[in-house]
Amino acid sequence: MNAKSDISTESSVLDKVKIVLAIAIVVGGVAGYYIYEAAPAVLRIASVIFSLAIALGVFATTGVGRELWRFIQGSRIELRKVVWPNRQETGQTTLVIIFFVIIMGIFFWLLDMFLVWAVKLLTGQGG
């Protein structure tokens, strides 16, 4: 039992170090962008993108990174399982939504007119 907990503790400590290293790489890339402002913008942007790629690679080797990758893969599988509406259903749904928005707009406009009338009547400003 202790061997397993020691391994998970060591791996979590190593994961934390890797996450801090990934953050430091990104911060270094962004800092380099501002420090080397005399360099061409293309090189500065490329250095930031490169630092993000390196940091992503370091993060991917952590337990959290592996879990995130498994989640992304599972999400893609679930996305393929979704039954998407065809063009006709999409058009009909859009028309229903537009109609409903117009009806609700008219309703709230009339409600606002009534409330303004009621407030003027109650405060004595209506006439």
Spatial CB neighbours of 22, under 8 Å, sequence gap ≥ 6: 55, 56, 58, 59
Paired tokens of 127:
């006439």
Q: Is the dihedral of CA 69, 74, 75, 76 positive or negative?
A: positive
pLDDT averaged over every residue in the chain: 91
pLDDT tens per residue, range 18-55: 999 999 999 999 999 999 999 999 999 999 999 999 99
Sketch the domain layout of the chain as residue ranges. 1-82, 85-127
Q: What is the DSSP letter of 62?
A: S
pLDDT at 3: 54
pLDDT at 73 over 80: yes
pLDDT tens per residue, range 99-116: 999 999 999 999 999 999
Chain center to CA of 6 = 35
pLDDT at 9: 58
